[in-house]
Chains A and B, each alone.
Chain A
Amino acid sequence: MAEPRGGIGGEVPDLSLWDRTIDALVRARHSDIWYSFKRSPVTMVAAAVTAVIILSAVFAPWVAPYNPFDLATIDLMDASLPPSWMADGDPRFLLGTDDQGRGILSTIIFGARISLGVGFASVVFALIVGVGLGLISGYVGGTVDAVIMRVADIQLSFPAILLALLVDGVARGVLPREAHDELAIYVLVFSIGISGWVQYARTVRGSTLVEKNKEYVQAARVIGRPAILIILRHVLPNVMGPVMVIATIHLALAIITEATLSFLGVGVSPTEPSLGTLINVGQDYLFSGEWWIALFPGAVLAILVLAVNLLGDWLRDALNPKLR
């Protein structure tokens, strides 16, 4: 199926990577994946929940009742109101307000925006680094391969959270203090991304090793076409499935890691709180009975991660029925 339709002679233009990918997706739509999706109510609910959270995060300025960062709309008189259904609740604030009078629902929607943004960016970063290193490792082989895989092994035995913390600590030491707050998000994306590339690299490397020795690659080499391009064209569509699975599960993990770092106070700056920051702030108010400040962001975080994990689980089973 993956024969070079474009031909080695180069007369007919090669199908571009995107065409192939779309091909694969179209085929998938008519295949078992779509079927198994429609047959699994849990997966459909998970997909719906994920979609709702992602959409409201993306369109936060329009969806959220208030902009929690707009000082004009914030009134300290509204501080620490309980959810609207409780005795002292205010109908304007469905889930209550925090200590500064910001609506919890609004901060959650804007917080999810940051959490998801950092999560997606970290996954993309890890994916690019991992797929790149995997290709190089598998294609070049030899010492390069040995070094990359050795590093991967060592890193894999280290918990991601520890690595992310170290990178963050180093960044704080290297960057001037003012710059750090501004760059906090980028540092965060880098540290979470760099702690997750290994899985991608291993998968892609394996697939590259398989393709590398196939005849058409050898033939391309003989007539002097850069074999790496051919490999790219054939390996990438083949590893799309596994990489998607890894990326989905990694997304859940990245969101957790971001939340944890922010909770620990070394993540995003408190001026632009993510879900983790919100929980961190809210934790102090648990003892004074204002449980809603921490609980609602926590619940949204848990539901989001659970939904993404369920999607990942389903995708893995659908793509690889043997695992069942």
Chain B
Amino acid sequence: MFAFIIRRLLQSVLVMLTVALIAFALFRFVGDPINNLVGQDTTLQDRQQLRETLGLNDSVVVQYWRYVVNTAKGDFGYSYMHRRPVKTMLLERMPATLELSIISIILALFIGVPMGVYTGLRRDGFLAKIFMSISLIGISLPTFLIGIMLILVFGVMLRWLPTFGRGEVVAFGIWTTGLLTASGLKALIMPAITLALFQMTLIMRLVRSEMLEVLRTDYIKFARARGLSNRAVNFGHALKNTLVPVITITGLQLGSVIAFAIITESVFQWPGMGRMFIEAVADVDIPVMAAYLCLIALFFVVINLIVDLLYYAVDPRLRIDGGGSGGHG
């Protein structure tokens, strides 16, 4: 197991280095970093000077390595647009995005899994069919459209909920939270639902099909033949066996939740990293784009590691065989 973790860690580092290479290439070769930092009237000499101090005349390998070291330290350089350290900007925005994403995934799991189990067990039931139809609509509706509809109904027509921003936030050091104020919670409702809806339908459909698959297996038939109660069979034996794929997908989805947060944040003018990224794309603010890319990759890598560890917790076959099927490429 230890060897397995080491191997996974090495793989993760490799992925991060690759992403850093892309980010570096973006930073170094898309547009001229000097032109983006200085004004039109800067002399050629000054430019050369700056070029030298920034190390842009060193070999590409040296520059890349410096970029990696700086990135690892959290130093992403300065935003072209805002002339502020990207690190500070990210830190300001991160709590908003993380709060929104985590609340959404919790919402998606706690509604999606039970609905999936239900539709799997009562596959021909009336309610199950309604759930399935709704889920198809949920998958077909673009995220931003759901957000707009919610705004129209609950924000404009009913005037129940605020349509933009985070409400009042409370600061703990560098972390700001909207979870502790009434206006913060109210502001969170619509964005969280918007972001959760797609993941919820996905999780529901996944759990359903896994459930149907597992219910067909011999060990479920044998469990029934031993007279175990429906509860024990469905929620003990069957549900646990559906967990492995659910963990994988949910883990991967957590990554896309953060990515989809870009859209949700845009619709609700949520002051998070996603909105910052969109603005960076529109303004070609390369350092911000590169930093966001690295950060998202880091999230993905960490989530993947956690997913792998959860496998071990759930599936004894992996635990004892020493990760034989853990991925020999």
Residues of A within 8 A of B (CB): 154, 157-159, 161-162, 165-166, 168-170, 172-174, 252, 256, 259-260, 263-266, 276, 279, 283, 286-287, 289, 291, 294-295, 298, 301-302, 305-306, 309-310, 313
B interface residue numbers (CB < 8 A to A): 15, 18, 26, 30-31, 136-137, 139-145, 148-149, 151-152, 155-156, 163, 252, 255-256, 259-260, 262-263, 266-267, 277-278, 280-282, 284, 286, 289, 293, 296, 300, 304
Contact yes or no, A173 B284, CB < 8 A: yes
Interface of B is mostly: helix
Consensus secondary structure, chain A interface: helix
B29 shortest CB reach to chain A, Å: 9
**Which chain A residues border B18 with CB–CB below 8 Å?**
154
Q: Given A279-B144, A301-B142, A302-B141, do A264 and B278 touch, yes or no (CB 8 Å)?
A: yes
23 residue pairs A–B, Cβ–Cβ below 8 Å: A154-B18, A158-B259, A159-B259, A161-B259, A169-B280, A169-B281, A169-B284, A172-B281, A172-B284, A173-B31, A173-B284, A260-B142, A260-B143, A263-B266, A286-B148, A286-B152, A291-B156, A294-B148, A302-B145, A305-B140, A306-B137, A310-B136, A313-B136
Candidates B26, B144, B155, B256; contact of A263 at CB < 8 Å: B144
Residues in A with CB closer than 8 Å to B263 are 161, 260, 263-264
User: Are A154 and B140 interface neighbours, CB within 8 A?
Assistant: no
- Not counting A159-B259, A260-B144, a sample of 7 additional A-B residue pairs whose C-beta atoms are within 8 angstroms of each other reads A162-B296, A172-B282, A266-B282, A276-B144, A283-B151, A287-B156, A306-B141
CB distance from B105 to the nearest CB of A (A): 14
Q: When A165-B262, A286-B151 are in contact, do A266 and B281 touch as well, CB less than 8 Å? A: yes
Residue of A nearest to B139 (CB): A309
Residue of B30, B293, B304 touching A174 (CB-CB under 8 A): B30
* Residues of chain B with a CB closer than 8 A to A289's CB: 156
> B141 near A305 (CB under 8 angstroms)?
yes
Across-interface contacts of A298 in B (CB, < 8 A): 145, 148-149
Residue of B nearest to A258 (CB): B142
Min CB gap A179→B, angstroms: 13
Measured between beta carbons, the chain B residues less than 8 angstroms from A157 are: 252, 255, 300, 304
Determine how close the nearest CB of chain A comes to the CB of B241; give it in whole angstroms: 20
- List residues of chain A with CB within 8 A of the CB of B163: 287
Q: For B148, list chain A residues within 8 Å (CB).
A: 279, 283, 286, 294, 298
In the complex, A294 Cα to B151 Cα: how many Å? 12
Q: Are A166 and B255 in contact (CB under 8 A)?
A: no
Instruction: Please tell me if the beta carbons of B143 and A166 are within 8 angstroms of each other in the complex.
Output: no
**Which residues of B sit under 8 angstroms from A264, Cβ to Cβ?**
144, 262-263, 266, 278
Q: Which residues of B contact A168 (CB under 8 A)?
A: 281
Question: Chain A: which residue is nearest B157 at the CB level?
Answer: A291
Check B289–A166 contact: CB distance below 8 A.
yes
Decide: B142 and A266 in contact? CB cutoff 8 A: no
A283 CA to B31 CA, complexed, in Å? 33
Q: Separation in Å of the B100 CB from the closest CB of chain A?
A: 16
> How far, in angstroms, from A309 to B15 measured CA to CA in the complex?
34
**A260 to B252 CA separation, bound complex (whole angstroms):** 21
Contact of A162 among B151, B259, B266 (CB under 8 A): B259
Q: List, in ascending order, chain A residues with CB within 8 A of B26's CB.
A: 170, 173
**In the complex, are the beta carbons of B141 and A165 less than 8 A apart?**
no
Cβ contact within 8 Å between B145 and A279: yes
Instruction: Report if A161-B255 is in contact (Cβ < 8 Å); known contacts: A173-B286, A286-B156, A301-B142.
Output: no
CA distance A162 to B22 in the complex (A): 14
**Chain B residues within an 8 Å CB radius of A302:** 137, 140-142, 145
Contact partner, B278, options A165, A174, A295, Cβ 8 Å: A165
Minimum CB–CB distance from B30 to chain A (whole Å) comes to 4
Residues in chain B near residue A276, CB distance under 8 A = 144
B288, chain A: closest CB distance, angstroms: 10
**Residues from chain A with Cβ under 8 Å of B145 in the complex:** 259, 279, 298, 301-302
Name the one of A162, A259, A306 contacting B136, with C-beta atoms under 8 angstroms.
Answer: A306
- How far apart sit A266 and B136, CA to CA, in the bound complex (Å)? 28
Chain A hits for B141, CB < 8 A? 302, 305-306
Assembly CA distance A255 to B139 (angstroms)? 13
Say how far B306's CB is from chain A's closest CB, in angstroms. Answer: 14
| Chain B residues near A263 (CB-CB < 8 A) | 142, 144, 263, 266
Instruction: Say whether, besides A166-B293, A172-B284, A298-B148, A306 and B140 are in contact (CB < 8 Å).
Output: yes
Assess whether A161 is in contact with B262, with CB atoms less than 8 Å apart: yes
* Complex contacts, B149 vs chain A, CB 8 Å: 298
Query: What is the CB-to-nearest-CB distance from A184 to chain B, in angstroms, rounded to a whole number?
Result: 12
Contact A256 B300 (CB under 8 A): no
Indicate which residue in B30, B155, B252, B277 contacts A165 across the interface (CB closer than 8 Å).
Answer: B277
Known: A286-B151, A302-B141, A305-B142. A159 touches B256 (CB 8 A): yes
Give the residue name and chain of the A residue nearest to B275 (CB): A264
